[in-house]
Structures are given as structure tokens and as C-alpha cells.
Structure 1
Amino acid sequence: MNAVTTLQATPASFLTVGLSLKLSFTLNGQKGMYGSTLLGWKDHAWLVCEWPLQAGHGTEIPQGTPCTVSYLHDGKLVGYRTEIRDRLSAPVPLLFLAFPQTVEEMHLRKHARVSSCEPIVLARMDSVTAIVGGLLQNLSIGGCSVIVPQAPAWLRAGTSLRLEFELAGLGHVTNLTGLVKSSEATEAGCILGIAFRFQDMEYIEYRGWGGSVHQAIEQWTAQKATDSFPPQ
């Protein structure tokens, strides 16, 4: 397990406008995780972020509700405990959080790889008809492993692909370029090792988050690899 370091909350060391946040708090008796974006802060006073869409615009969150926040910042997973301070409904819905007293940081291994079990569509780059479905086995910011029950002859090492798959709970990725680096035949099917090629043509349909496909995969894999962080 990567070591966790506890630091005093110095804004420049853990805050940047535009960070994709994961907020965890109890709403109507049920604990949930909600996506938001950091918009600003006042040193040692408060943080302000977008109202989490998943919570619903008319939802009341009592002041003082405990909340934990986590996100990626400069290659580290950052987390801290805070509480709900206030909300603003107009002109745009905003959520205010208490400025944390301490911050916990975890340095992540490069290209953390996590298990997955989501359908994936593979389409050959130079064809509109060469398409096959598979199952995403694991995922990292650098690439993924996919099992294809019945692989066509064209699906082999060196083939360039367009990928479409779901980042569960985060969004739907389309038009991501991948290059088949390895292909292994097994009883269950063909296992492919695919390297991602980010070319600014890929797209993700977000559910309450912001950023690029690269940032989304980085955020998703880091959070899945460290589900217990920060301590509740």
C-alpha cells in the first residue's frame, strides 16, 4: 500500500481551480459519492465548488454535514475531512465547504492498473464495418486488457483501433485510439493488450464531472486503486 502523509493545509500545495472533486457525505440517511469541480477558495476559510448534479438542484444539505473530499493533484491522491458550510442557488448553484485543517496525500504508482468488467467496442481505424465486441478486464492510464471471445483475423498486434467503453459511474468514452500491442489465444478467447494513443479526438460524456478523457481515466483508475482513501 502506498504511504499516506498528513500535512498542514497550505493552499498552493493541494488546491488548483478546475480540479475534479469526489465528495462523500450522507444525504437523506444514505451515504453517497458526488462529482463536482473546484471553483475557488478563501485561505483558511472556505472552498467553493459546483453544486453536485447527482444531488439534485432542489436538495437541502444541512449546514455542518460532514464531508470528505478526494482528487488527483500533481500525481498525488489528495484527501481531507471537511463539512458543508452553505449553498448558493442563484445565479448558478454553488456549494461551500469548510477549509480543511489538515490534508492527507498518497503518492501513486505510475499507471495504476485496476480490474474492470465492462463491455467494450473495438473498431478498426481504417474500416467502417470491422467492429467487434469484447470485455474490458483491466484498465490504466496507459492502456487496457481486453478479452474477445471470437477474434476476427484482422484483430492482431499492430492493429490501430477506435475504442468505446464505460467508466462506471463517471462517463462513456468514445473514439479513443488504441494500438494492439499483444494478442494471446486462450480457451476463453483472445486476450489483447492495448496501448492508448490520446489524440484530442476522444470524447467522454460526463456525469457531473469535467475534464478530458485522459484526466477521466487517470481519476477513475486512481480512485478505484485507493477506494479506502481518505479514511472516513
Structure 2
Amino acid sequence: MRVGERLHIKICSTGERLWGELVGFKQGEFLLVWLHNLITKHKIVTENNTVTVRGMNVDYQLCGFKTTVSKIIIKPYPLVFLKFPSFFEKLHLRRHDRMDCFLPAQMLLDGNEYKTMIVNLSQGGARIVLDLNNSDISPDQCEGREVYLVFKTANNDKEVYAKSFVRSANNEARMALGLEFIELIGESHAIIDEYVSSIKEYSTFK
């Protein structure tokens, strides 16, 4: 796992689930996690709690481990120290060939439309980068939500409509989202398949 990665934390004793962000670590000693809602959840998250932690990186590898809470800090910043795990489990989730591309698209969320660029695509999902003008939206608003992605490929004039689940969100130079397609509407599946296959064919000539 890398600094800046979003983490899903489940408290084993209660089943309570929280979202956090890895902000630091000392190899073999501890992980430092920022929990933005720790102030309201401090009675639920306590020292010596056993927790299950999961996070997904931009390569769609799900990492998971079980550990304990060693220290909690409420002020000036809501931080949790976790004991460094003895091992990480990794599960590669990608089931489809994913090809790099640059396709303009629109993302629909809560009745709003956001301009994006698809930077890689498969039948199972996509990675998109939001336009710089979308300053009114944050990773917290997107992760774990359902969105619609609308776009056209270079070799087909018909629009693709993809109902999607936001698996990951990060905001470094620009905000990027990892999407899993839940439903491809109409001819969308065939259009994506044709486009990805054509990119794959030409990529052999690199």
C-alpha cells in the first residue's frame, strides 16, 4: 500500500465500517491513518480494537490484512496508529483485458454532469481522470457511489452507457476514479469489445 491510498476499515467487534487514508508508515512498526470522521466515531474506535483493513491501488489490486489499533489521536488531527501487519493478502480483481486510451466522456452523479477523460478501458471497467474545472467534487463524494459513464469510441458513432460503481478515488495532480461497470446498456458491451480488440491488435506493432 502507498501513502495517499484510501482504506476501508472494519471494526471486528461491532462490524462498524469506516473510510480512511494512509498518510504514513514505519516499515515493520506502524501504519498512520487519517480518519476524517474519527471525532464522531471516537467511542466506536478504541485502542486495542481488532480491525480488518482493505484498500485498492490504481492497478486494481485489493490488499487486506487484520491488525489492532495501537494509538488514537483526536486533536489537532484525527489520526489512528495501526500495528504494522505481519503479512498482506493481495487479490487481483481484473478479469478483462484493459487497454490504455484517451476518450472524452461524461460522468453523471447526483444529477450533475462532469467532463472526464478515459485513460484505460475494458469490458469490466475503466479508469477516468476528471477535468480540472471539476473543483466542486471530492473523492469522498465519489468512492462507493454509483455513477453513469457516457462516451463514444473512435470507431463507432453510437454512445456507450455504462452504469458503474466507483471502486477507488484519489486526488493527486488530478482526481482519478477507478470504475467497475455494473451494467452496459444496449449495444455498449459490443462497442467496447470492438474498440478494446482493435487497440489490442494495433498494440502488437509497438
- 2:160 matched to 1:193? yes
Residues 57 and 64 of structure 1: CA distance in aligned 2, closer, same or farther (over 3 Å): closer
Residues 105 and 179 of structure 1: CA distance in aligned 2, closer, same or farther (over 3 Å): same
Residues 139 and 89 of structure 1: CA distance in aligned 2, closer, same or farther (over 3 Å): same
Among candidates 17, 29, 49, match of residue 65 of structure 1 = 49
In the TM superposition, residue 51 of structure 1 has moved relative to its aligned partner by 2.2
In the TM superposition, residue 83 of structure 1 has moved relative to its aligned partner by 1.0
In the other structure, the counterpart of 1:217 is: 178
Question: Could you tell me the percent identity over the aligned residues?
Answer: 18
Check whether the contact 1:57–1:93 (CA below 8 A) recurs between aligned residues: no
In the other structure, the counterpart of 1:178 is: 150
In the TM superposition, residue 64 of structure 1 has moved relative to its aligned partner by 1.8
1:1-232 equivalences in 2 (<5 Å): 15-26=1-12, 30-53=14-37, 56=40, 58-59=42-43, 61-73=45-57, 75=59, 76-109=61-94, 121=111, 140-141=125-126, 170=144, 178-180=150-152, 193-194=160-161, 211=171, 214=176, 216-218=177-179, 221=180
Distance 1:213 1:171 in 2: 15
In the TM superposition, residue 77 of structure 1 has moved relative to its aligned partner by 1.1
After the TM superposition, list the runs of 4 or more consecutive aligned residues in structure 1 that deviate by more than 6 angstroms: none
Residues 54 and 141 of structure 1: CA distance in aligned 2, closer, same or farther (over 3 Å): farther
Counterpart of 2:126, as a letter, is: I
Distance 1:122 1:42 in 2: 41
Check whether the contact 1:111–1:141 (CA below 8 A) recurs between aligned residues: no
Distance 2:6 2:72 in 1: 19
- State the secondary structure of the residue aligned to 1:31: coil
TM-score normalised by length of structure 2: 0.52
Counterpart of 1:99, as a letter, is: F
Computing the radius of gyration over CA atoms, which structure comes out larger, 1 or 2?
1
The alignment's C-alpha RMSD in Å is 4.5
Residues 170 and 53 of structure 1: CA distance in aligned 2, closer, same or farther (over 3 Å): farther
Structure 1 unaligned blocks of 5 or more? 1-14, 113-117, 126-137, 144-166, 185-191, 197-208, 225-232
The number of equivalent residue pairs is 146
- State the secondary structure of the residue aligned to 1:217: strand
- State the secondary structure of the residue aligned to 2:63: strand
Residues 30 and 52 of structure 1: CA distance in aligned 2, closer, same or farther (over 3 Å): farther
- Higher relative contact order, chain-length normalized (CA < 8 Å, sep 6+): 1
Residues 55 and 107 of structure 1: CA distance in aligned 2, closer, same or farther (over 3 Å): farther
Counterpart of 1:83, as a letter, is: T
TM-score normalised by length of structure 1: 0.47
